[in-house]
Chain A
C-alpha cells in the first residue's frame, strides 16, 4: 500500500511570505491530521479532518494558518503570512478509521519549513 505523500520536502521562505503544503493520505483513510513538529519537541496537532469535515482545529493559529480537505481526500495547509516561529516540520498523517484502537496514525515524511 502506498504511504502518505507530502510535498514539497523542503521550503525556505522569508517572514511575511506565504507557503502551502500538500498531502495525499493513504487510499481509503477517512481521517487526516496535520501536525507541527518544532525541533526538539513532539508533534503537535494543528487540525484533524474526518472525511472533509473538521473534527478539531483548536490549536490552529487561525489568523495565519488555514487548511482544507476537498472531497475528503487530498489536503492543503497554508500559512499566510509566515513568522519566524513557524519554522518546523509539518507532518501529515492519516488513519483508516476515526482513530483509537486498531487505527494507528500513518505519517508522511513531512515538509521542513525554514522561515528567515
Chain B
C-alpha cells in the first residue's frame, strides 16, 4: 500500500521556466511534508518542508503548496536551472502515537531534467 505517491516518473522543462512536481498521499494523519533532491551517487538532500497547518512555504526559487482536502502537495521551482536536474522525492511524516517520535514515508521519486 503506497501511502505517498509520485505519479510522474519523469519531467522535462526548459531552463528559465517553471517546474511543477506533484505528490499525493492517502494518510490523513500525516502532519509534516518534505521534499528531497537526489543527485546520482549521493544521498537525498533536504530541500524544503511544510507543516500541515500551512498551505504554502517559500524558500528562494522553491515553493511548496499543500492542499489537505485533496491530500496533495506540489513543489514549484521558478526559474528552473540546469543544476536542478535531479530526482525529487516527497516524504510525509506521521507521529507514533504516544512515543513522541515520527516516521517518514517516501514517494517513488520524479526525475527532473532541465534543458539548457
The residues of A with any CB-CB pair to B shorter than 8 Å are 4, 6, 31, 33, 35, 40-45, 48, 50, 55-56, 91, 93, 98-101, 103-110
Q: Is the CB of A42 within 8 A of B106?
A: yes
Chain B proximity of A47: nearest CB distance (Å): 11
Q: Is the CB of A44 within 8 A of B49?
A: no
A-B contact pairs, 19 of them (CB 8 A): A42-B4, A42-B89, A43-B89, A44-B106, A45-B103, A48-B103, A91-B44, A93-B43, A98-B99, A98-B100, A100-B32, A100-B95, A101-B32, A103-B102, A104-B34, A105-B34, A105-B44, A107-B45, A109-B42
Of B49, B89, B91, B108, the residue contacting A40 (CB under 8 A) is B108
Chain B proximity of A106: nearest CB distance (Å): 7
* Complex contacts, A93 vs chain B, CB 8 Å: 43
Asked, given contacts A31-B101, A44-B106, A45-B105, whether A100 binds B44 with beta carbons under 8 Å apart, the answer is no
Q: Which of A44, A106, A107 has the most CB of B within 10 A?
A: A107
* Complex contacts, B45 vs chain A, CB 8 Å: 107
Question: What are the 9 A-B residue pairs with the smallest beta carbon separation, nearest first?
Answer: A99-B102, A107-B43, A42-B106, A100-B102, A98-B101, A104-B46, A42-B108, A43-B106, A109-B43
Q: Given contacts A42-B6, A98-B99, A104-B46, could you give 20 more A-B pairs where the C-beta distance is less than 8 Å? A: A4-B43, A6-B43, A33-B104, A41-B108, A42-B106, A43-B106, A45-B104, A48-B101, A50-B101, A55-B96, A55-B101, A93-B43, A98-B102, A99-B104, A101-B32, A104-B34, A105-B46, A105-B104, A109-B43, A110-B43
The residues of B with any CB-CB pair to A shorter than 8 Å are 4, 6, 31-32, 34, 36, 41-46, 49, 51, 89, 91, 93, 95-96, 99-109
Bound: A103/B89 CA distance, A: 17
Bound: A42/B104 CA distance, A: 11
* Complex contacts, A35 vs chain B, CB 8 Å: 106
Nearest-CB residue, chain B, relative to A6:
B43
